Amino acid sequence: MKVELVPPESVTEPRLWVRHDQAFAMMLGPGSIEWGSRRSAMEQFDYAAGDLALCDRHQGEWVGLMNTRHLQIGISDAALMASSDGAYGEVELRPSRKFADARLSALVAAVHAEMVAGFSNGRLFLDSVEQAMAVALVKGHAVRHRPVQIYRGGLGSARLRRIREFVHAKMEDDLSLDEMAQSVGLSTPHFARMFRKSTGETPHQFVLRQRLERARALLRAADSRVLDVAVACGFKTQQHFAQVFRDVWGVSPTEYRQGLSRLRIAPCTRLSTVPSPDTSDSVTP
């Protein structure tokens, strides 16, 4: 997934924009954009914060005055094809210069917050968001796609055990959703759907929980440095580690190590405070 923050521009001379990946944009504030399929037939579209626009792939758009700040998202063909139940080649989406979709807007808002935070949650979070975005785009805007298959089961105990072992072996790495799915021989969207059915968590929430459990264990050593624990548990910065640790356990890593671990800390039930996309509608190729 490609993420680009586009500021307002003062350029008024029409220019042709052509994108060969599938892109859409969400407006981050009120404003307007002049655009159209031909230079001689441009219109002004007025937007509010949260409004969306789905680009016309390959054909290009003539763009004039653009005075609204927006976030532009490029979705991979792999995510779109997987969400189209195994379609081959490019998935054709119906372009729209202005539309509303509460779920897509919420997902883009999560990506924007992640960008502001320096993408601290890693690839797994963005992979999960991309899968959820692809499902919403295909469901609402695909010109042609095959019916979605419904799977009612979950992952077996052997696969869940292999996933746990894989996560523990790779905890220091920037894990991706694709890697987790491949570790048990499943397609990415099917894995995401079945994992949540089996555990009640998204893969991102599960990995975060495992990292925080390991962090608690490592912090029991009196000579452990918080920075070393953060790195060993896959956090990009000490600041992000401390923030997530406090959000979940109610104390900072330093406070926990200095003796507050003797207090009764409730089970880890606050992971919902960490943004995690709803991938419950993921499908299988």
pLDDT band at 4 (very low <50, low <70, confident <90, very high): very high
Distance CA 129, CA 1 (A): 9
- Tell whether the model's pLDDT for residue 41 goes beyond 70: yes
- Residues 96-122, mean pLDDT to the nearest whole number: 91
- Residues 49-56, mean pLDDT to the nearest whole number: 92
Residue 144: the pLDDT is: 59
Mean pLDDT lowest among 12-16, 96-100, 272-276: 272-276
How much of the chain exceeds pLDDT 70, in percent? 85
The phi and psi torsions of 43 (rounded to 5 degrees) equal: -125, 155
Q: DSSP code of 74?
A: E
- Tell whether the model's pLDDT for residue 51 goes beyond 70: yes
Residue 185: the pLDDT is: 85
Helix axes 188-199 and 203-219, enclosed angle (nearest 10): 60
- Tell whether the model's pLDDT for residue 137 goes beyond 80: yes
Residue where the block lists tokens 């926990």: 256
pLDDT band at 265 (very low <50, low <70, confident <90, very high): very low
**Residues 284, 151: contact at Cβ < 8 Å?**
yes
Note the pLDDT tens digit of each residue in 199-258. 888 888 889 889 998 998 888 877 788 999 999 998 888 988 998 888 888 888 888 877
Mean residue pLDDT across the chain = 81
Note the pLDDT tens digit of each residue in 175-205. 888 888 888 888 787 788 788 888 888 888 8
- Residues 82-86, mean pLDDT to the nearest whole number: 66
Residue 28: the pLDDT is: 95
Distance CA 176, CA 188 (A): 10
Instruction: Retrieve residue 239's tokens.
Output: 């600041």
Note the pLDDT tens digit of each residue in 66-81. 999 999 999 988 788 7
User: How open is the CA angle 247-108-53, to the nearest 5 degrees?
Assistant: 170
Nearest CA-CA partner of 79 in 24, 116, 32, 31: 24
Distance CA 189, CA 55 (A): 24
H-type alpha helices, the chain: 77-83, 102-116, 122-141, 157-169, 177-183, 188-199, 203-219, 226-232, 238-249, 253-257
**pTM exceeds 0.85, yes or no:** no
